[in-house]
Amino acid sequence: MMKKLLLPFAVLAFTACQQQAKQEGSENKALPISNPGSVTVYTTADSAGLRIAKTASLPFVDMPQPLETQPCIFIDPRNQFQTITGIGAALTDAAAETFAKLPTGKQQEFLKAYFDTTAGNGYTMARTHINSCDFSSGSYTYVKDGDTALTSFDISHDKQYRIPFIKQCIAAAGGKLGMLVSPWSPPAFMKDNNNMLEGGKLKPGYRQHWADYYVKFIRAYEAEGIPVWGLTVQNEPMAKQRWESCIYSAEDERDFIKAYLGPTLQKNGMQDKKLIAWDHNRDLIFQRASTILNDPEAAKYVWGIGFHWYETWTGGDMQFDNLRLVHQAFPGKHLVFTEGCKEKFNLDSVYNWSLGERYGNSMINDFNNGTVAWIDWNILLDETGGPNHVGNLCFAPVHADTRSGELIYTNAYYYIGHFSKFVRPGAKRIAASSSRSQLQTTAFQNIDGSIVVVVLNTTSQRIPYNLWINGRAAATESMPHSIVSLVL
């Protein structure tokens, strides 16, 4: 029997800032902290068994110019960057079906763990799919085969599990959850391979019908009480997958946006929906962004560029420099992490510490390179890493053992929580610099003026350091394989 990690409600004492940004991109009016008094430390560490636990309240003391021998994390709130939209995860068919199998008490525990701002991670964003995806129990669309007029459009399929699940998540989040929607494939009859699976391309003659389909979906979900914040054009448009997929070259996506999807959204009064292009890995992100955003007629409809982290399939590292280049080249657009997970699920590996460290590394570097929102993949999966109708089984931060009705919290849940719990919508990223490569860091100032500094240590070393701000410092220590949120 596997040992179950208990969600540490008792130690999650920090009450996060609840006020939402008054408007997107609003300025943080709080003055920089010039004379900090103390900082509260929340820690997750491997060997210590700590999970977002309040571990210290540290005083600041005067510290003039640090020496090179004194490791420091330097913070300067006077230098502010992008405004954070939110953090969350995907509410898929698989998550909804797994949730439905849980006992009522465990369902409530799950909702509290993810959406409660005091006793949980305080998620504020979500993503879901238009039509089926691989994390569905089977392939489906919302129209009958060949119905170009879309008169048969019906989301009844989603009313069994997914829509009720999403509604409970919205309620648990306080009635507001920014929802991003993404298609994996148009209906088979609209594609040149006549199959929702195995790639294929949208037939030119169906581009307007497909653009109308997005509008139908958004209206149907909003009629169910699920407001849609934004949409992506296509999930992973360069991947021919054995599951639902559809290929767009950069030029295909550009032309579909400017001639069909963008105008159709505008014509239907949906110009406020955030349209996000690419929605694929960091490897080709600059080529895709430059092709679309250097065309003024396409760029005017595009709010941002979405990306995933699976470029590591080549055996290389995550390519954060490509994000930085997109951010530098197109500062008026927004970077959004739209999906990531550890693939090739194995139940024996749910407590592998590298799961969370991958999240910590990605989130710190994504935010430091201009990302405004970060959305994980499946919020919940079962003990098999599914359900998934093509066997593409993966890890989630939380798994449900549907045989016993228990929840399994991987350390990825806690690593994400070090950001989502403390960094609230409307926060500004502020300058943060580490004098040691072993300590990765990023920092934010919430709209209430509180500052949150995240420090990641993926080494086996115990590293003393000083949190330094404006000539004052708090001495602390980074545990091996740990992540901390320092709140002041």
List, by residue number, the catalytic residues: 236, 339
Rounded to an integer, what distance in angstroms lies between the CA atom of residue 218 and that of residue 367?
A: 29
Helix%, strand%, coil% for the chain, nearest 5? 30, 30, 45
Rounded to an integer, what distance in angstroms lies between the CA atom of residue 33 and that of residue 406?
A: 44
Q: What DSSP letter does each residue of 391-439 carry, written as one string?
A: ---B--SEEEETTTTEEEE-HHHHHHHHHHTTS-TT-EEEEEEESSTTE
Query: Tokens at residue 253, please?
Result: 């996506």
Q: What is the residue whose two structure tokens read 């408007």?
A: 23
Q: List alpha helices for 207-313, DSSP H.
A: 207-223, 250-256, 262-267, 285-293, 296-299
Q: Report the length, in residues, of the chain.
A: 488
Rounded to an integer, what distance in angstroms lies between the CA atom of residue 430 and that of residue 452?
A: 9
Q: What DSSP letter does each residue of 112-181 carry, written as one string?
A: HHHH-TTTS----EEEEEES--TTSSS---SS-TT-TT-TT---GGGGTTHHHHHHHHHHHTTS--EEEE
- Backbone CA torsion sign across 155, 195, 292, 180: positive
Instruction: Give residues with Cβ within 8 angstroms of 460, minimum separation 6.
Output: 480, 481
Please, are residues 145 and 205 in contact by the beta-carbon 8 Å criterion? no
Helix axes 411-420, 354-368, angle to 10 degrees: 20
CB environment 422-451: b (16+ within 10 A), e (fewer) = bbbbbbbbbebebbbeebbbbbbbbbeebb
